[in-house]
A and B are shown apart, each in its own frame.
Chain A
Amino acid sequence: MSYIPPAERLWWKEPIEAVELFWVAIALVWALIMFFMMPYWHVYGKQNLSSEAYRTTPEMFTKKVQAMVDQYTVRKETARDMPVVRPPAGADIYMLGRLWEWYPVLELEKGQSYRLHLSSVDWQHGFSLQPENINVQVIPGYEMVMKITPNKSGEYSVVCNEYCGIGHHQMIGKIYVK
């Protein structure tokens, strides 16, 4: 019985039940399939998180963001004059998380690829692209670069889904895809 010592003095000498062996075997096969799906998707799938990342500082990252904003801003939106930036297809584009906004707004072209750089200049934030539901952790001091290829046009929101203080639920940005 489970709460008294085993019948055999040493447990590893006890016999194994056939049903158990069968189950262990199929569970193991399934576990291996689940493992191989991950490398498989890296080769054949179209949605993989890049592992390109660099160490950065708030100053360095802010400078790069600002350079893009200065060069490609097409208009300003909202009472806060949030720049809307329209970089050329294939460009390096930047989005910066800070208390409590995603800066700036990006305007992209459907079907084109961009290299999106993400970082935070203060606390941790969560880049959550809605309604696509793509979610990436944004950590100060680290600049992540991922290649994105919007496949539908529309207005997308960037919600923050890492708790970042009292303004967390007001932290929202936009990406427009034309």
Chain B
Amino acid sequence: MANTAEFRTCPDTGLKFHKPAETLMKLNAVAGIVFLLIGGVLGLLMGLTRWPTVHLLDADSFYMLLTAHGVGVLIFWIIFFEIAVLYFTCTSLLNSRLAGPRWAWLSFFLMVAGSIMTMVAIFQGRSSVMMTSYVPMSAEPHFYLGLIIFAVGALIGCFVFLATLVIARAERTYGDGSIPLVTFGALTACIIAIFTIASGAIILIPTFLWKIGYINHIDPLMYRIIWWGMGHSSQQINVSAHIAVWYAVMGVVFGARPLSEKVSRMAFLLYILFLQLASAHHLLADPGIGTEWKIFNTSYAMYLAVLASMIHGLTVPGAMEAAQRKRGFNKGLFEWLRKAPWSNPTFAGVFLSILIFGFLGGISGVVMGTEQINLIIHNTLYVPGHFHATVVGGTTLAFMALTYWLMPVLFRRDVILPSLSKFQPYLFGIGMAGFSLFMMGAGTLGVPRRHWDISFSGAIFGHQYPETAYLMLGLVGISSILAVLGGGLFILQIVGSVLFGRKRGEVKGSTPLIAELVAPGVHGIGIGGISVPGTLVLALVFLTSFILYYFVNWKYLSQVWGLG
């Protein structure tokens, strides 16, 4: 057993922090937030470039910064923060020490070194290949090398997490049964991460060798298949991680219990089992891949990973509703929702994250992952519209929400400007939701992604996109300003609080940071025998929108040229 002097017990939450783990959580989270800051600034510059009337950057800088943005936020921001979440869920939630802090330090240093190396390569200007770096286009060798080093670091972090689970079990730090649901979700993310990193290595190492001259050919289609083995699965890491955060936040804000452990955990397992090994939905418009292969691998015949997300979409708000009803907000369909703490950024962030992820990101993702419908969406602006809803409106917003809660718990500081944090999640969430929606709108009208000038000035032919497309792009620009203001406020709050927030010391604060646990079971709540009727209604509204939107897209498809 580790030396008890190495532990600190949070007076507000009773959570135990292993000091080396605590330091590493802070460092990883901060490194992530630095990349979020960089990425946000770049996002704004690009958003303003895609707004035709502003058209801020020149073409070279646009493509360079687009590469930097994609790599910096999608890979570096998210993964640094996820490593922090992994350490939190395996130490504090299990009362355990971190296995091999030295390895965790090594992991951190490699990730920092790798991320800096790749960013330097990009900003040197000769690696504007987009984060996907599709061959035979090539970047400078240190672009790939940095990514490889970063991945090795992240992989070590994953193994530290797994090793910690092993010692926590051996040392019986949390009883002798199952690990908590949140840790279970993090474990899901970790397992998927290992698979992801392996795919990344399988493709990036040969690409690096190709670039420095040891291999003379990389098949571009094979590259796409394996690259997306990383690119797609890493999104499944994000989903698992942010859903673990959703459950955690419902737990700390409402004292909520999952409706049932079994269903929620089975849903996490589905992510692992139906992880699309070949990530087929990124290759639906590719030549040289069979139709049956595409259809089967994009859905595994029954879309079980989608089913899993739909389950969490019910069980997370369901857990909240049950807890609220047990606390007395049991009237009507939606009292539990009306009486929610809407000005608490931890709750508001997570609730918006659920809505944006489900309604915008989830529905659009499944629709464009349909083999034939993909033809009218592939590589249009619809695609970034979709994934800003998932990875920004969903993951990033959930991580922001958690950070507000961690500020007093982990950093022992109060948030400096609480009145601003009340509306920060709304500004960011609504900005991002608009940004995503308008990009999807522009994509539906055919506007391409990663494209500097849709007016084609100077090209041999012209093409006139409809006026509505220009309107959409204007709205994209305006929404990116809103979102970046929201993101900027978050960073200001976090950096400001870490540096200048009032120190809480090792005494319990006056406002509780963790709600008391509600009683188990769902007896005596709800309407007519249904324990969580409000959530069920919301879920049915979701399903109806999903069905309508899905068939509207088939209708669009049926109007284009015959293809066979």
Chain A residues in the interface with B (C-beta under 8 A): 1-12, 14-20, 22-24, 26-28, 30-32, 34-35, 37-39, 41-42, 45-51, 53, 55, 78-80, 82, 101, 113, 118, 122-124, 126, 128-144, 146-152, 157, 159-166, 168-174
Contacts and interface: CB of A to CB of B under 8 A. Distances in A.
Interface of A is mostly: mixed
Given A14-B262, A122-B136, A131-B466, A23 B536 contact: yes
Interface string B261-303: 1110100000000000000000111111111000100110111
A163 B130 contact: yes
B177 A148 contact: no
B189 to A, nearest CB: 15
A171 B458 CA distance: 10
Contacts of A17: 259-260, 263, 318, 522, 531
7 contacts: A18-B531, A19-B318, A20-B318, A31-B307, A49-B291, A123-B134, A139-B224
A149 B559 CA distance: 12
A54 to B, nearest CB: 8
A15 to B, nearest CB: 6
A27 to B, nearest CB: 4
B539 interface: yes
A25 to B, nearest CB: 10
B448 interface: yes
A92 B311 CA distance: 49
Nearest to B178: A11
A27 B310 contact: yes
B302 A133 contact: no
Given A34-B370, A46-B563, A148-B562, A137 B263 contact: no
B547 A30 contact: yes
A146 B539 CA distance: 40
A160 to B, nearest CB: 7
B221 A47 contact: no
Nearest to A100: B459
B452 A168 contact: yes
B260 A79 contact: no
B562 A149 contact: yes
Contact of B250 (A2, A35, A50, A129): A2
Given A131-B446, A132-B561, A34 B289 contact: no
List the 3 closest pairs (A to B, CB-CB), nearest first. A144-B287, A149-B562, A9-B177
Contacts of B256: 1-2
A169 B453 contact: yes
B386 to A, nearest CB: 14
Contacts of B220: 124, 139-142
Nearest to B460: A78
B561 A172 contact: no
Given A9-B176, A163-B451, 7 more contacts: A6-B180, A10-B177, A49-B285, A80-B460, A101-B460, A137-B283, A137-B379
Contact of A15 (B262, B372, B535): B262
A148 to B, nearest CB: 6
A169 B451 CA distance: 6
B310 A14 contact: no
A19 B531 contact: yes
B82 interface: no
Contacts of B461: 78, 157, 172-174
B435 interface: no
Most buried by A among B63, B310, B311, B564: B564
A144 B136 contact: no
Interface string B173-196: 011111111111000000000000
Contact of B307 (A7, A14, A28, A161): A28
A79 B460 CA distance: 8
B291 A20 contact: no
A135 B378 contact: yes
B564 A46 contact: yes
A38 B445 CA distance: 23
Nearest to B93: A3
B414 interface: no
Interface in B180-224: 180-184, 219-221, 224
B456 A169 contact: yes
A135 B543 contact: no
B379 A49 contact: no
